[in-house]
Amino acid sequence: MYWLIEDIRQLKGFYNSGYKEAFIEVIPFNNFTHPTQNHVSLVYIRPLYASKGYIICINHSETFNTDKTHIDKILKKFDILYCRDKKETLHYFPLKTLHDINLPPTTYIRPTTKTHDIFYSQHKNNEEVNLLIPIVKHYELCEQIFKDLEKNINKQKTKYDEFFNNRVSLVFNAIERNGIRVHVPTFRDYFHTIDGERVYTQYNLKTLTTRPSNKFKGVNYAALNKDNGCRKSFIPQNDKFLEIDISAYHPTLAAKLINYEFPTRDIHGHFAAMYNVDYQKAKELTFKQLYGGVFDNYKHLEFFSKIEKFVKNTWEIFENEGNIECPISDFVYSKESLENMNPQKLFNYILQNMETSQNVLVLWDMFSTLKNVNTKLVLYTYDSFLLDFDENEKEVLKQIRSIFKKYQLNTKESEGYDYNFSK
């Protein structure tokens, strides 16, 4: 069979080929358009026991096009479909059989060819630029991606592998699909032009620390300015925005690591009393010590004494065994993948992984609660969760609040008629 599949006869032949495992790469209309607003041009399928990959055409200028339903039928026949980015691929094909083999920590990003670069440069504003690029160049690129990642297919599957594929990819895909409504003139003033009244975030899960970034079209949704008015751009589809913030998150997570119980919900107030300083100064002192090391004059405090011991013991394990396993996710930091490490830096990495992993569990429960209701989760940023809230769904809000109680997380809430929380 030729590598290009473009008619019903060839599709039937491929469908009946008996392949059960394959690598898949989706070629959309434009690599720089958000997947929620994009369309599929080509699908590359590389059966594991075939000598080559195949391209199935859905929409391209060079060949006959195939109805997407035929592709859906073919893909559903596979027992497992390995991919470069499950979160992204789910936007095009929401299949339970997808399995991401490009897990963090990774620096691998989708490459290009010189041909791709030329077309992207010459057709910057063409939302269908991939339909102009010769199919053979797309095929060449996909063959290279498979070659680059093939070695990961047979790697022993870890507990984190399961956590990432069955939890992480799914919850962040769900957030992206919801999008955020915007006040178009205000959004254009602060950011860029837009078609419609909804923007979509894009989380990068493949980071060194596993803490996701969130940037799309030059907008850093993980660090929107709180002072310049840009947050007024974002408005609810329902009645109001309601943001749930986890209070003193990293001290809370650190306490779980060292088996320390705070005597009060007001953790920073607790530290203020111990330091004998005001509330704001206490926050500053606590975070400086969590991220930079315990000060000599506070080593006698039980919390920091246990922190110092934990940092020391963790570093010894890391140095002697070459890796350290994180709680919740079972992610492993290894000496092979990390450079210029020190005890405090390793501790910070563990905290960040624990933060993301705990939030994934929270997000999973939230999406289970938000099925078939109007209230939507539209943005997640490290310690905050932004709900587009329907006032008629107060029972839903009670259920959401109970999720944070379940994981023993203290929260505070803000609400308003835009993301600046204007009343």
Domains in the chain with CATH codes: 4-155 (no CATH), 179-423 (3.30.70.370)
pLDDT at 369: 98
Both tokens of 55, joined, read 């391209």
126 CB-contact burial (10 Å; exposed 0-12 / middle 13-18 / buried 19+): middle
Candidates 229, 249, 143, 141; CA nearest to 183 is: 229
pLDDT at 2: 83
Mean of the per-residue pLDDT values of the chain? 95
Mean pLDDT within 160-185: 97
How confident is the model over 53-108, as pLDDT tens digits? 999 999 998 988 888 888 999 999 999 999 999 999 999 999 999 999 999 887 78
394 CB-contact burial (10 Å; exposed 0-12 / middle 13-18 / buried 19+): exposed
Q: Is the pLDDT of residue 423 over 80?
A: no
DSSP per residue over 243-285, as a string? Answer: EEEETTHHHHHHHHHHT---SSS-HHHHHHHHHTS-HHHHHHH
Cα distances (angstroms) measured from residue 293 to each of 222, 308, 309, 335: 26, 8, 11, 21
Instruction: Indicate the range of 4-13, 123-132, 254-263, 411-420 predicted with least confidence.
Output: 4-13
Between the CA atoms of 264, 269, 270 and 272, what dihedral angle is there, to the nearest 10 degrees?
-170
How confident is the model over 226-279, as pLDDT tens digits? 999 999 999 999 999 999 999 999 999 999 999 999 998 899 999 999 999 999
Q: Is the pLDDT of residue 142 over 90?
A: yes
Percentage with pLDDT > 70 across the chain: 100
pLDDT at 352: 95
pLDDT at 1: 58
pLDDT band at 287 (very low <50, low <70, confident <90, very high): very high
Mean pLDDT within 184-213: 94
- Cα 75–77–78 angle (5° rounding)? 75
Helix (H) or strand (E) holding 146: helix 135-153
pLDDT at 258: 97
Q: For helices 279-292 and 302-321, what crossing angle results, to 10°?
A: 20
Mean pLDDT within 171-198: 97
pLDDT at 106: 78
Both tokens of 145, joined, read 């991606």
- Region of residue 336 (left: phi > 0; alpha: psi -120 to 50; beta: else): alpha
CA distance 247 to 190: 29
CA distance 330 to 308: 22
186 CB-contact burial (10 Å; exposed 0-12 / middle 13-18 / buried 19+): middle
Q: Is the pLDDT of residue 121 over 70?
A: yes
Instruction: Indicate the range of 111-115, 202-206, 263-267, 387-391 predicted with least confidence.
Output: 263-267
pLDDT at 357: 97
Q: Is the pLDDT of residue 182 over 80?
A: yes
**Cα 11 from chain centroid?**
34
pLDDT at 28: 97
Candidates 226, 281, 287, 256; CA nearest to 414 is: 226
CA distance 43 to 182: 33
The answer to whether the CB of 180 falls within 8 A of the CB of 351 is no
The answer to whether the CB of 28 falls within 8 A of the CB of 15 is no
Q: Is the pLDDT of residue 402 over 80?
A: yes
pLDDT at 215: 96
Residue with tokens 């479909």: 81
Beta pairing class for 98-100 and 80-83 = parallel
- Region of residue 179 (left: phi > 0; alpha: psi -120 to 50; beta: else): left
**Cα 118 from chain centroid?**
30
Q: Which one is predicted more confidently, 155 or 24?
A: 24
The answer to whether the CB of 129 falls within 8 A of the CB of 119 is yes
